[in-house]
Amino acid sequence: MSDEAEPWYAGGRRFTCTQCGNCCRGPEPGYVEVSEAEVAAIAEFLELGLEAFGKRYLRRATHGVISLTEKPNLDCVFWEEGVGCEVYPVRPVQCRTFPFWPEVLETEDHWVEYSAECPGMDRGKRYSLPQIRQIMTDGKATGRSRKLPEAGSRG
């Protein structure tokens, strides 16, 4: 048995993505980190070659990782009003693991703050502690699991 205390969310948390787009839209700048595999999957989904996809949809973020670009209004390039995420079936790990990011789960107060902007938090499917830990492990490849010093609160 571990001496480590159970986290405040040990009883699990509810979440279902409503595709409201609150985590996909400005007004603050953000980044959506993508791996080579995610780039390939999204490009294939959009039926684009990798070079064309890269020129149109990728940028290097300030901390050196590759990110999806944003529209001039700071929305994710794949967010379309009235449609939602245009690449939802192949969205990046960073998007798939929200809200189970370290900064959201750090304290219950943080969870409450984020849930004020996200109508899917505290609703829908209950994720158990083991499921949450697995999602967080899956997300370790993204900046959201490393708490990088990036301006903006959006994913």
Count of C-beta atoms within a 10 Å radius of residue 52:
11
pLDDT the model gives residue 2: 53
Q: State the total domains in the chain.
A: 1
Q: How confident is the model at residue 25 (pLDDT cuts 50, 70, 90)?
A: confident
> Does some domain include residue 101?
yes
> Does some domain include residue 126?
yes
Q: Above pLDDT 70, what percent of the chain?
A: 88
> Does some domain include residue 151?
no
Q: 104 near 149, Cβ under 8 Å?
A: no
> Does some domain include residue 108?
yes
Query: Looking at the predicted structure, is the pLDDT value of residue 153 above 90?
Result: no
Residues in contact with 122: Cβ distance below 8 Å, sequence separation at least 6, in sequence order: 13, 14, 15, 115
> Does some domain include residue 155?
no
CA dihedral 96, 99, 100, 103 (to 10 degrees): 130
Q: 85-105, pLDDT tens digit by residue?
A: 999 999 999 999 999 999 899
Q: Above pLDDT 90, what percent of the chain?
A: 66
Query: Looking at the predicted structure, is the pLDDT value of residue 36 above 70?
Result: yes
Q: What is the mean pLDDT of residues 21-47?
A: 90
Burial class (CB in 10 A: 0-12, 13-18, 19+), 155: buried
pLDDT the model gives residue 34: 93
Q: What is the mean pLDDT of residues 19-33?
A: 84
Q: 136 near 93, Cβ under 8 Å?
A: no
> Does some domain include residue 8?
no
Global pTM value: 0.80
Q: How confident is the model at residue 139 (pLDDT cuts 50, 70, 90)?
A: confident
> Does some domain include residue 5?
no
Q: Return the H-helix or E-strand segment holding 124.
A: strand 121-127
Range of the domain at 89: 13-145
